Amino acid sequence: MSAPRRPGGSLFDRPATPVGTWLKIASGEPVEIMAYAGFDFVVIDLEHAPLDLQTAYRLINSAAALGMTPLVRVPDKTPSTIQKILDAGALGILVPHVDTVEEAAAVGRACRFPPRGVRGAGGTSRAGAWGLRPNAEYLASGDDVLCVPQLESAEAIGAAPEILALDTVDAVFVGAADLSLSMGSTPSSPEVLELIGSAIQAAHAAGKRCGLAFGGVPERAAQAARDGCDFVLLSNDTSMLAEAARGLVSAFRAAAG
């Protein structure tokens, strides 16, 4: 009997809401710090940070070795990009600006091996343990990686029930900042919050999960988790460094008079 499917490894097996952060610095130290700080997962950000594939490759390995689930936000929807990231060992991808069920279906197919998808076999990669992993096990692992479209427009939220009905999609992530920008609004406006709530409801109706990011405001994230959000992202490595640095300098200036 085969093992049950576990998308993203053990990320959603935890009793508490998984909490992660974005990685934007091209260095190994931040990923180690996030592991020691207790984060459950990291998202290596290839969309909004100057990180290349080789850097992502190293960070994926470090995160996994330190017990965190390594996810990657890819910069585009192309199957070649998705395949390289998954063969590098990522346990899931976030895909920006997926607005339609057709786009979500294409992304889902890029994550899965035939007959469910179009991902090419690369068993001599890290995902295949350099060819040492049994081929059947390597191919089965294609069903275990998390495929997470990002919903960042009203059109995407409207298509959420159809997107979540796809068996190649495991969860959605609502990008509240870009969603509000597309609406000429703010992330905390009633109309944006209503759309976020509808995405969470659509995910739960499909038996799947919905995630959100909250910057450096853990109280808001905790309230969202109580309200049904299934995984949360807090801040990022660059912002944590910037805020700590400014706080130290400001405290010194104030104390020194």
Rounded CA-CA distance 240/219 in Å is 16
Tens digits of per-residue pLDDT, 137-195?
999 999 999 999 999 999 999 999 999 999 999 999 999 999 999 999 998 899 999 99
Asked if residue 7 belongs to a domain, the reply is no
From 10, 8, 179, 200, select the one nearest 99 (Cα to Cα). Answer: 179
Tens digits of per-residue pLDDT, 188-235?
899 999 999 999 999 999 999 999 999 999 999 999 999 999 999 999
Asked if residue 4 belongs to a domain, the reply is no
Looking at residue 245, what is its pLDDT? 98
From 112, 27, 23, select the one nearest 68 (Cα to Cα). Answer: 23
- Cα–Cα–Cα angle for 32, 37, 39, nearest 5°? 85
Distances from the Cα of 30 to the Cα of 23, 52, 152, angstroms: 7, 16, 27
Q: Is 70 exceeded by the pLDDT of residue 239?
A: yes
Sign, CA torsion 57/61/62/64: positive
Average pLDDT, the chain: 94
The answer to whether the beta carbons of residues 172 and 164 sit under 8 Å apart is yes
Which segments of 47-88 are extended strands (E)?
69-73
Tens digits of per-residue pLDDT, 34-79?
999 999 999 999 999 999 999 999 999 999 999 999 999 999 999 9
User: How many domains are there within the chain?
Assistant: 1
Asked if residue 3 belongs to a domain, the reply is no
Q: Is 80 exceeded by the pLDDT of residue 7?
A: no
Asked if residue 96 belongs to a domain, the reply is yes
Tens digits of per-residue pLDDT, 86-111?
999 999 999 999 999 999 999 999 99
Asked if residue 9 belongs to a domain, the reply is no
Asked if residue 1 belongs to a domain, the reply is no
Confidence grade of residue 13 (pLDDT, cut at 50, 70, 90): confident
Asked if residue 149 belongs to a domain, the reply is yes
Q: What is the CATH number of the domain that holds 234?
A: 3.20.20.60
Question: Residue 81's domain spans which residues?
Answer: 14-256
Asked if residue 6 belongs to a domain, the reply is no
pTM above 0.85, yes or no: yes
Q: Which residues are the active-site residues?
A: 48
* SS3 (DSSP) at 8: coil
Confidence grade of residue 5 (pLDDT, cut at 50, 70, 90): very low
